[in-house]
Structure 1
């Protein structure tokens, strides 16, 4: 599995021996999880695996019963939770939970106002954040009437405006049609390219294979394995333990006996492998056809 030690100090370092909900349900146990600079981490696992619980610990929305959260080298306590929430922006699956203002621009401004940013500077930064996610045209709209994809983008802008070092997204494609899913996925890739690390949870392993540098597999409240997409998605025992099926590109490559060395994990990689193999067979066929004895 991937060794992150060469990546330097983590931006977020979570050690959680246990987190139990008030009803006695154990949400997470014996978890060590780090987020490093310049990476996209995808959490995958079935319903109830602990993905959302883990992510809500990353900005101190939840705190371990026994453990510690360190953000940018600062141990997080009850007194400085605001540091975690500024450095680790959280975009919830239900975007309505974080859209609270009468217009989109007001909503993106909200966090800056809470931090006492002057009005002119706040408006400029809010408009820049909306432009980053291609949502400038929504500035005067009422958040309640936006589509699911538009709400997700506005929620993302509301987090970006605080200039976090890490953005956490809970099921960012949930409930979106293919066009809106592609738009949100493109914005996530763009944000990462601008130097912000991303942690996301998803049931869509095709999406995880496409965007993630590191995959963490969760089951029964714990991280049971992690690595690059190739390391994880070509590990049938690990996937079986978490009741997961690999992306379609992996299944096709295995069923066809292809890619034992290249191990495609995305559709584009599979197409490249197949077209390359076809070119090779065609060239061999032509050579055989013109061979003389």
Structure 2
């Protein structure tokens, strides 16, 4: 997890995406979101968390103008998005839907990744080169001749990710990228998100997997009742019991273990790596190998 944000979890650079939504109401009268100000900055991973019905998917779909606010404004790379230039938002903000099948339209994986490039009139040789590079970035080159219908859920997510990545967006948005995946497939997708982040593309994702959010996010935005109630670092969010209770969330497992072990709260580990380092540090400071912060006696 990188250190690219200020102490309040907000990157100081000019936003790539800036959304102000006073309200968004669905046709049946349901208010999906209200009083939201949300920005995506260069070179960051933002995790959007909250209970079911909190407004996460509604917010994400506003970021590339799939949905538009009843009142408010969306700006993408400095341009105000209107009905006339929604294509700009969709080019700069790539969206990977939770149901990967809704984005897979071609008979082979390579054809599917090429699809968007052909729509933009990219010459065939350049399109094929970029498609293969995108598949390589998500470590899915071995899938290029496969029929998408027969791929696993995790493989389909990677193909959807490559199909967005190939268009060279400034931001990639993923709606519940770990939903329905086993732990190994979740780790695979999380690793590819880290790789995309290392390429300089900002990432916004919604997830119920707080362990993974803690491991890969620079900033965590918490939603409840259709609004953003916090935007801060993982350490600030995941050790705030009142905030998590308000959003119907439980702390990541690392936070629970750290507290059960009696570790000092100002250390605030949120990842397994941070927790192990803290435990090793405590063990090194004791004769018997017990953790210094726990106050417990070493046992045989």
Which TM-score bucket, shorter chain as reference? over 0.9
> Residue 25 of structure 1 aligns with which residue?
30
1:223-266 deviations in Å (ceiling 9; x for gaps): 01110000101111111111111111111222332032211111
Q: Distance in 2 between the 1:202 and 1:234 partners?
A: 18
> Residue 16 of structure 1 aligns with which residue?
21
Residue 2 (str. 1) matches residue 22 (str. 2): no
Task: Count the aligned residue pairs.
Answer: 284
5+ residue gaps in structure 1?
A: 286-293
> Residue 290 of structure 1 aligns with which residue?
none
Partner SS for 1:281: coil
1:149-199 deviations in Å (ceiling 9; x for gaps): 110000000000000010000111111112211111100001001100000
> Residue 209 of structure 2 aligns with which residue?
204
Q: Return closer, same or farther for 1:240/1:74 CA change in 2, 3 Å cut-off.
A: same
Residue 68 (str. 1) matches residue 73 (str. 2): yes
> Residue 165 of structure 2 aligns with which residue?
160
Residue 214 (str. 1) matches residue 222 (str. 2): no
Match of 2:156 among 140, 151, 159: 151
Match of 2:264 among 259, 265, 270: 259
Q: Return closer, same or farther for 1:275/1:29 CA change in 2, 3 Å cut-off.
A: same
Match of 1:131 among 136, 142, 161: 136
Q: Distance in 1 between the 2:288 and 2:15 partners?
A: 49
Please say if residues 9 and 219 of structure 2, whose CA atoms lie closer than 8 Å, have aligned partners that are also in contact: no
Runs of 4+ in 1 over 4 A off after TM superposition: none
Please say if residues 13 and 71 of structure 1, whose CA atoms lie closer than 8 Å, have aligned partners that are also in contact: yes
Residue 250 (str. 1) matches residue 282 (str. 2): no
> Residue 180 of structure 1 aligns with which residue?
185
> Residue 231 of structure 2 aligns with which residue?
226
1:279 Cα deviation from its structure 2 partner: 1.6
> Residue 54 of structure 1 aligns with which residue?
59
Please say which structure displays the higher CA radius of gyration: 1
Please say if residues 259 and 273 of structure 1, whose CA atoms lie closer than 8 Å, have aligned partners that are also in contact: no
More helix by share: 1
Partner SS for 1:126: helix
Q: Distance in 2 between the 1:31 and 1:258 partners?
A: 36
Of 51-60 and 120-129, deviating more is 120-129
Q: When the two structures are superposed, what TM-score results if normalisation uses the length of structure 2? A: 0.92
Q: Distance in 2 between the 1:7 and 1:162 partners?
A: 26
Q: Return closer, same or farther for 1:60/1:240 CA change in 2, 3 Å cut-off.
A: same
1:76-109 deviations in Å (ceiling 9; x for gaps): 0111111000100000110000001111111101
Q: Distance in 1 between the 2:243 and 2:181 partners?
A: 29
- CA RMSD, Structure 1 to Structure 2 (Å): 1.4
Of 254-263 and 275-284, deviating more is 275-284
1:272 Cα deviation from its structure 2 partner: 1.4
Q: When the two structures are superposed, what TM-score results if normalisation uses the length of structure 1? A: 0.94
5+ residue gaps in structure 2?
A: 1-6, 291-300
1:34-82 deviations in Å (ceiling 9; x for gaps): 0000000000000100000000000001100111100000000111111
